[in-house]
């Protein structure tokens, strides 16, 4: 498999975590978002949306990280990243969606550039939505966490949460109101699959 992504992209980061948790081998091809590589004809041939990540697989090119993570779970079910029961799976998916649907899309690069173009303060904009999402996730994790966001094993929720916590730090979000969430992040970041996926460890990262 070849993962086309950007070292600091949250969606690429969560995909690397899931691939690592599954123990899968993959190559990486850097797509420099700051240089506009995502708008090149070559990349748009892989993903017409011009967004990262894109994952080349034996089943074809996959796009949209939530879809990629679900494909990984179905194609490579061990170790599982979803709990056993439908109700518990729904909780984990809700945690993941809180990031993928309600936080991350509002603080990705193209949205921040649009905020700046309209005269807004991009970091404050991003922090507003991260704070709102983390407040909800803090309650969810307090109810269902057990070392990780849900229970005592990594799930799709953790794949989404850790990259968002990395972004929160970049945008200056105060972590103090979220002790359960930050405890999960600390536990996860000590896991080799998460540590190896960290942006600073990627070959295309800034020096």
pLDDT tens, per residue, the chain with 207 residues: 999 999 999 999 999 999 999 999 999 999 999 999 999 999 999 999 999 999 999 999 999 999 999 999 999 999 999 999 999 999 999 999 999 999 999 998 899 999 999 999 999 999 999 999 999 999 999 999 999 999 999 999 999 999 999 999 999 999 999 999 999 999 999 999 999 999 999 999 998
DSSP state letter for 54: E
Parts of the chain belonging to CATH 1.20.1050.10: 86-193
DSSP state letter for 77: -
Dig out the tokens for 181 from the structure: 């969430």
pLDDT tens per residue across span 123-163 = 999 999 999 999 999 999 999 999 999 999 999 999 999 99
CATH ID of 2-78, from 3.40.30.10, 3.30.1490.20, 3.30.2130.10, 3.40.190.10: 3.40.30.10
pTM score of the predicted model? 0.96
- Between CA 157 and CA 141 the distance in angstroms is 10
Positive or negative, the Cα torsion across 141, 142, 146, 151? negative
Q: Which fold has domain 86-193?
A: Glutathione S-transferase Yfyf (Class Pi); Chain A, domain 2 (1.20.1050)
The distance from CA 129 to its chain's CA centroid, rounded to whole angstroms, is: 16
Parts of the chain belonging to CATH 3.40.30.10: 2-78
């Amino acid at each position: 498999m070849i993962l086309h992504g950007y070292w600091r992209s949250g969606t690429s980061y969560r995909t690397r975590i899931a691939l690592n948790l599954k123990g899968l081998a993959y190559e990486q091809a850097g797509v420099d978002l700051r240089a506009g590589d995502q708008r090149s004809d070559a990349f748009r041939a892989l993903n017409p949306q011009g967004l990262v990540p894109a994952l080349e697989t034996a089943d074809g090119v996959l796009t949209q990280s939530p879809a990629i993570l679900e494909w990984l779970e179905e194609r490579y079910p061990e170790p599982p990243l979803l709990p056993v029961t439908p109700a518990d799976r729904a909780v984990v998916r809700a945690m993941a969606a809180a990031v993928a649907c309600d936080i991350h899309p509002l603080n990705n690069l193209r949205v921040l550039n649009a905020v700046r173009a309209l005269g807004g303060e991009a970091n404050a904009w991003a922090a507003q939505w991260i704070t709102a999402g983390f407040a909800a996730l803090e309650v969810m994790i307090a109810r269902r966490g057990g070392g990780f966001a849900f229970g005592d094993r990594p799930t799709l929720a953790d794949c989404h949460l850790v990259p968002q916590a990395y972004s929160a730090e970049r945008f200056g979000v105060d972590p103090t109101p979220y002790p359960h969430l930050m405890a999960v992040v600390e536990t996860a970041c000590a896991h080799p699959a998460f540590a190896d996926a960290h942006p600073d460890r990627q070959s295309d990262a800034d020096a």
